Structure 1
Amino acid sequence: MIQIAVFSDVHGNLPALDAVLNDIEQRGIRQKFCLGDLVDFAPWGNEVIEKIKSLNIPCLLGNHDERIAFDLPVFPLSKHSEEETEARFIAIDHSKKYITEENKNFLAELPFHLKLNYKIGNKHWNIQLLHSGLESNDTYLYESENDAVFMNMLEDSKADLIVMGHTHLSFKKQFENRKWAVNCGSVGRSKEENRLASYLILRLDEEQIFPEIIQIAYPLEETVRGIEESNIPDYYSAFLKNEKVSLL
């Protein structure tokens, strides 16, 4: 059996990333992949990038990575409140100033997609890794999405399983043809009620793919303190604690 760990959306949260990487190591899983969004919303963007680089973990280009790497403009999103919109502009501007040129160049060279093929016995498994969509790294696909959307993605990518991140909400969907669509959730900025760091373990044998969502605790107060001692708005520390905060 082959084991693979896939994680996404670290968003500068080094304590959460360390906890996930330690959990993966303790499980004896050697193959690791990241689906992007290394930066923004917590103060360790450079440190997260350096960790990914030092461990040679293959990583995709997330929408936040792209924005920082190429200094793209930030536009308000209709789904965000006025409070979150203001906090988002400040946090992203912080990353644009704080991330080093060397690390921006690293982000700029990240691949958009990654296709994996594993052979076990006579079986080839094709696994499509992407940040959010096949055409865009800023597509929001939730568990409630019509099955046909995922089936079309599986067909277009000629994959047995697609793994994505971006929404910060994990899910697993299996279809009648035994193919899968999986969201591995977020390491550093989970939008799930428990706010735990989330990642995916894939186990492959000759007959089946077994996806398992893993959710673990990490030193949340360390992240909260890091945000509050930085120029990143306290909105993001309150978010991690499931609290509301006013920017006024």
Structure 2
Amino acid sequence: MPRIAIMSDIHGNFEALKEVFRDLDKRDVTETYCLGDMVGYGPQPRECVDLLRERGVECTMGNHEQGLINIHYLRRFNQPAADALRWTREAIDRETYDWLTSRHKSIVAHGCRMVHGMPPDSVNEYLWRHRHRMAEVFADFAEPICFVGHTHDLKRYVHRGGVCEERPLEVGATELEPDCRHLINVGAVGQPRDGDNRAKYLIFDTDKKVIDLHAVPYDIRKTADLIAHSGLHRGFADRLW
């Protein structure tokens, strides 16, 4: 059975993405998925998209890809984030734009659902806003496992017999509890917000039902300097540290 890699929230951070793939190339992985937000905040959106496409990564749409489409979606963002998406639109060519804005809102593969925000197919909803109704969240999707991104944090939820529990998600291997359903937030490649500034991605062994979370160091200074030189909001660089 395959081992699949899952990542999210690259946000134009090419240095982080390159190091993730260097690390990933050491692993026995058959397919790679990205849960959206390939662009936004970061200084190298085109390079990130080119690499994802070159590597055959299947990607869902994130709210930042949706924000590129028109002013209606852009209004959902704060001013610095909206300005970054306007900058991104100018930095990418038409082919890249068309590819980004044509991604599906969810992917079902290997018995898993993959979505940026919240199942079944929201690119905008934050999971943490619904922690008080997690049993209802699990009722919204049929698959035994769902992977999400969007919050840039690491979390997992376990559902059994109508009861949901939050469990830690730490670097290294975690065996998923049997006879349960699982909702797993995979963190972020390009702008982690879990207290560890390394780029995160995980590998899921679909046979053994084990997730292996990897944290990869990269040249943060280089990305931060590119943000500063591009004219993007300085706060996007500061968040990397």
Confirm or deny that 1:164 pairs with 2:157: no
2:191 counterpart residue number = 189
CA distance in structure 1 between the aligned counterparts of 2:35 and 2:215, rounded to whole angstroms: 17
Count of residue pairs the alignment pairs up: 222
CA contact (8 A) 2:106 2:121 kept: no
1:213 Cα deviation after fit: 2.3
Structure 1 76/54 Cα, relative in aligned 2: closer, same or farther at 3 Å? closer
In the other structure, the counterpart of 1:46 is 46
Q: Is the 8 A contact 2:153 2:187 kept in 1?
A: yes
Q: Is the 8 A contact 1:172 1:211 kept in 2?
A: no
Structure 1: 4+ residue segments shifted above 6 A = none
| C-alpha distance in 2 between matches for 1:128 and 1:230 | 36
Alignment of 1:91-170 (within 5 A): 91-117=84-110, 126-133=111-118, 134-142=120-128, 145-146=131-132, 148-149=133-134, 151-170=135-154
1:135 positional shift: 4.2
2:88 maps to a residue whose letter is: S
Do 2:68 and 2:74's aligned partners in 1 also have CA atoms closer than 8 Å? no
- Does the 8 Å contact 1:69/1:107 carry over to 2? no
Residues in 1 aligned to 2:217 and 2:183: alpha-carbon distance in whole angstroms: 25
In the alignment, which of 184, 201, 205 is matched to residue 203 of structure 1?
Answer: 205
The letter of the residue matching 2:114 is: L
Over the matched positions of the two proteins, sequence identity in percent amounts to 23
For 2:240 and 2:94, locate their aligned partners in 1 and report how far apart those are by CA, in whole Å: 29
Q: Deviations over 1:28-71 (max 9, x none)?
A: 21311011111111111011111111111110011101111445
Aligned to 1:217: 217
Structure 1 match to 2:157: 173
Supply the AA of the counterpart residue of 2:83. Answer: I
What runs of 5+ residues in structure 2 fail to find an aligned partner? 161-178
Q: 1:98 to 1:217 in 2, by over 3 A?
A: same
Structure 1 letter corresponding to 2:112: I
Matched to 1:237, the amino acid is A
Q: Which runs of 5+ in 1 are unaligned?
A: 78-84, 118-125, 242-248
Q: Is the 1:143–1:171 Cα contact (8 Å) retained in structure 2? A: no
